[in-house]
Amino acid sequence: MQPTKSDSLFRKSMKFCAWSGYMAVIFYIIGGVILGGMTPPLLNAGESPEVFVAKITENQFQLQIASIFMMISFALFGSFGAGIAAQTRRFETNPVFSYVQLVFSAGGMVIALLVAFAWALMAFRPETYHPTVVMMFTDFAYFCALFSVPLFGGWCVMIALPILLAEEGREPFPRWVAYANLWAALLYVPGQLILFFKDGPFAWHGFVALWIPYIAYFAWIWIMSMALIKVANAKGNEPLDTRLSAAAVTA
Amino acid sequence: MTGGLISEVRRSSMRSAASPAVRPARDHIPGEIGIWLFVAGDLLVFSAFFIVIALGYKTQIELFTQARATLDMWVGVLNTLFLLTGSWFVAKGVESCRETHGVSSHRYFALGILCGVLFVANKSFEWGLKISAGITPLTNDFFMYFFVFTGIHLVHVVVGLGVLLVARGVSRRPVLRAKDIRTVESAATFWHLIDLLWIVLFSMFYLL
């Protein structure tokens, strides 16, 4: 890894970004899995609007708390993505891919936040809204999360490209990380199927369109967070004073 | 295809010692470890897809049998032939890059690309016929699986064509470095994966 010269903050900053990723996954598990009913899905794309309202009313408080956790989780995508872009930037003389990554990570964070917004509105006053409006909020949440394949897939590709195109020994991350990103990008593709199906494995509650992209996405965050921690701990990236004292001991 | 993958590994281990561009025979992995992780991951996901198809078949045997009979097996056979031939050209291209690197290297890749394009054209033709006959993914569960899973495979083919274009570009360089050989081998590995996935899809949709 490239030495950071006198940047005593680098290791801590990278760890902060990596932990943003880990915490995003943990907060999603609390919000989206344990409380929120997003995965596994509490609702079913093929059900009637009245069933939606009944289920949401029954679990209203739980869903509201879940929205808060999801909001925190998705907001953390920003610092997580910035950490990846910062590491990419260190290996660029004229920054290009790092900027592109920032655009994708900002876009990804905003779209993900809309998932939490829609989820919160869905649980805000289901008894007052017309049932089809409640249903539309649910649809909107899943569409933001799953239909946005070119955004989240594109983000992964923009992380993979500077690694694969780099000269030997000048890669910002290990080369296998690039392939993990490409694999994740391909796994998001079934998310686009939700536009065509309201039932079965390709609907937004289905195995292929929901579970595969979701597992791939959060596994990808975990993998990239691990990669950032590795960068932070890499030799040459320790604060200058630590290196100086180590050199003094050796001398 | 699977043969392509195996012979790729075998060929590389036999010939790598003769080539200064690649590592010693014993520990040489065609391409790099990352592409094999990718292959393993993709196979894992497609295995899940195959289970979904098998479960669909199990629950609706009669519908699946009737719907399957409406597919033209020879279109599938032709597509298999395109991919197998394409894989052979790609394997020859890799071999050429490793040994007698010259004009033939990029020509083999160009022929591989041509086979891929023919596959896409034939698939579009097959889909077009079905859709014009009123058969869509919403017709029944068989055609839902058929269109979606062959569609996801088609996405792989299109990505694979891009990857082969990169390999062709690299193979045009006058001198190939170890890094270039690695790129070409990784591209070929991905193309053979596409081949392997198609063979299973072909068997599940057209033959069983």
* Complete domains list, chain B, with CATH: 2-207 (1.20.120.80)
Which chain B residue is nearest to residue A200, measuring alpha carbons?
A: B141
pLDDT-based confidence at B17, cuts 50/70/90? very low
Contact across the interface for B42 and A189, Cβ inside 8 Å: no
Among the partner-chain residues A175, A193, A212, the one whose CB lies closest to the CB of B148 is A193
Contact across the interface for A186 and B52, Cβ inside 8 Å: no
With both helix axes pointing from N to C terminus, report the angle between A175-188 and B33-59 in degrees, rounded to the nearest 10: 20
Which chain B residue is nearest to residue A208, measuring alpha carbons?
A: B49
> Per residue in B77-113, pLDDT tens?
999 999 999 999 999 999 999 988 788 889 999 999 9
Report residue A129 CA to chain centroid gap: 31
Rounded to whole angstroms, the Cα distance separating B24 from B14 reads 10
pLDDT of residue A240: 62
Nearest by Cα to A55 from A123, A112, A9, A5? A123
User: Minimum mean pLDDT among A202-206, B2-6, B182-186: which range?
Assistant: B2-6
The Cα angle at residue A150 between residues A149 and A151, in degrees rounded to 5? 90
pLDDT-based confidence at B25, cuts 50/70/90? low
Q: How many distinct structural domains can be found in chain A?
A: 1
Residue A26 has pLDDT above 90, yes or no: yes
Supply B183's token pair: 């790129």
Supply A37's token pair: 């009913």
**A-B contacts (CB, under 8 Å):** 51
Neighbouring residues of B93: CB distance < 8 A, sequence distance ≥ 6: B105, B106, B108, B109, B112, B167, B168, B171, B184, B188
Supply B11's token pair: 């060929």
Q: Which residue has the higher pLDDT, A49 or A167?
A: A49
Q: What is the largest CA-CA distance in chain B?
A: 58
The mean pLDDT value of chain B amounts to 87
Q: What is the secondary structure of A147-195 as a DSSP string? A: I-HHHHHHHHHHHHHHHHHSPTT--SS-HHHHHHHHHHHHHHGGGGGGG
- Domain membership flag for residue A74: yes
Rounded to whole angstroms, the Cα distance separating B93 from B91 reads 5
Range(s) of the domain holding residue A80 = 10-250
Contact across the interface for B137 and A168, Cβ inside 8 Å: no
Tell me B203's DSSP state.
I
- Domain membership flag for residue A3: no
Chain B residues with CB under 8 Å of A201 CB are 52
Share of chain A above pLDDT 90, in %: 87
Q: Which residue has the higher pLDDT, B7 or A176?
A: A176
Contact across the interface for A207 and B52, Cβ inside 8 Å: yes
- Domain membership flag for residue A158: yes
pTM of the model as a whole: 0.85
Supply A58's token pair: 């029954």
> Per residue in A195-229, pLDDT tens?
999 999 999 999 999 999 999 999 999 999 999 99
- Domain membership flag for residue A4: no
pLDDT-based confidence at B6, cuts 50/70/90? very low
Rounded to whole angstroms, the Cα distance separating A190 from B140 reads 19
**Which residue do the tokens 């033709």 mark?**
B125
Among the partner-chain residues B34, B37, B155, the one whose CB lies closest to the CB of A189 is B155
Tell me A39's DSSP state.
T
Chain B residues with CB under 8 Å of A180 CB are 34, 37-38, 41
Among the partner-chain residues B45, B52, B159, the one whose CB lies closest to the CB of A187 is B45
Supply B28's token pair: 């040489």
pLDDT of residue A47: 96
Rounded to whole angstroms, the Cα distance separating B39 from B46 reads 10
Rounded to whole angstroms, the Cα distance separating A166 from A159 reads 12
Cα end-to-end span (Å), chain B: 20
- Among B52, B186, B197, which would you mutate to test the A interface (most chain A Cβ atoms within 10 Å of its Cβ)? B52
Neighbouring residues of B129: CB distance < 8 A, sequence distance ≥ 6: none
Residue B122 has pLDDT above 80, yes or no: yes
Residue A116 has pLDDT above 90, yes or no: yes
- Among A157, A183, A210, which would you mutate to test the B interface (most chain B Cβ atoms within 10 Å of its Cβ)? A183
- Domain membership flag for residue A15: yes
Chain B residues with CB under 8 Å of A227 CB are none
Rounded to whole angstroms, the Cα distance separating A129 from A53 reads 9
Share of chain B above pLDDT 90, in %: 76
Residue B1 has pLDDT above 50, yes or no: no
The Cα-based distances of B10 to B95, B108, B176 in angstroms read 12, 20, 21
| Alpha helices (H) in chain A, listed in sequence order | 10-28, 49-58, 60-75, 77-89, 97-122, 131-142, 149-165, 175-188, 212-233, 240-250
Nearest by Cα to A128 from A137, A116, A139, A117? A137
Contact across the interface for B144 and A200, Cβ inside 8 Å: yes
Rounded to whole angstroms, the Cα distance separating A74 from A63 reads 16
Which chain B residue is nearest to residue A213, measuring alpha carbons?
A: B45
The mean pLDDT value of chain A amounts to 92
Nearest by Cα to B56 from B204, B162, B193, B207? B204
Chain B residues with CB under 8 Å of A175 CB are 32-34
Report chain A's C-alpha Rg in angstroms: 21
Chain A residues with CB under 8 Å of B52 CB are 201, 207-208
pLDDT of residue B3: 47
Among the partner-chain residues A182, A193, A200, the one whose CB lies closest to the CB of B38 is A182
Rounded to whole angstroms, the Cα distance separating B107 from A243 reads 53
- Domain membership flag for residue A228: yes
Q: Is B65 helix (H, G, I), strand (E, B) or coil?
A: helix
- Among A159, A167, A186, A194, which would you mutate to test the B interface (most chain B Cβ atoms within 10 Å of its Cβ)? A186
Nearest by Cα to A209 from B48, B156, B166? B48
The Cα-based distances of A112 to A20, A78, A234, B119, B153 in angstroms read 15, 10, 31, 37, 28
pLDDT of residue B62: 93
Tell me A33's DSSP state.
I
Rounded to whole angstroms, the Cα distance separating B26 from A173 reads 27
Average the pLDDT over A14-30 and give the result: 97
Contact across the interface for A175 and B141, Cβ inside 8 Å: no
Which chain B residue is nearest to residue A179, measuring alpha carbons?
A: B34
Q: How near does any CA of chain B get to the CA of A195, in Å?
A: 12
- Domain membership flag for residue A2: no
- Among B144, B180, B182, which would you mutate to test the A interface (most chain A Cβ atoms within 10 Å of its Cβ)? B144
Chain A residues with CB under 8 Å of B41 CB are 180, 183
Rounded to whole angstroms, the Cα distance separating B25 from B16 reads 5
